[in-house]
Amino acid sequence: MSQKASRKKPVVSMPIDTIADASLQTYQGARGSTLLSCDMCGEPIEGEPAGRGLLIWTRGERDAARREEPALCARCSTTIGVTTLNALNVEEEEG
């Protein structure tokens, strides 16, 4: 296998419109970064994320639920979606 064949091809993602682009830039600026990275694999994400995870947790009985939506690259977003769909199908078949 040649070196060219073994390199990963970059995933190119771009905002749908200027409002989405401005929103992304504001979000990134608030976080102190100009480049997002995938929460699962750590690969840099150019443009808009391919998807977002959803994490919800609480600390203690009186604490309100906290929510976070980390950015995901195309590969991880697809992998999580397909795995979840497969798990739901298995649950339906088993009863």
Break the chain into its structural domains and give their ranges: 9-89
Per-residue pLDDT tens over the stretch 58-95? 877 777 788 888 889 999 999 998 998 998 888 777 76
pLDDT tens digits for range 19-54:
666 776 677 666 666 578 899 999 988 878 888 888
Instruction: Compute the C-alpha angle 40/64/20, nearest 5°.
Output: 50
Facing residues of 37 across strands? 44
Q: Could you give the C-alpha distances from 40 to 29, 53, 78, 80, in angstroms and in order?
A: 21, 9, 12, 10
Q: How do the residues of the chain divide into helix, strand and coil, expressed in percent and rounded to 5?
A: 40, 15, 45
pTM: 0.54
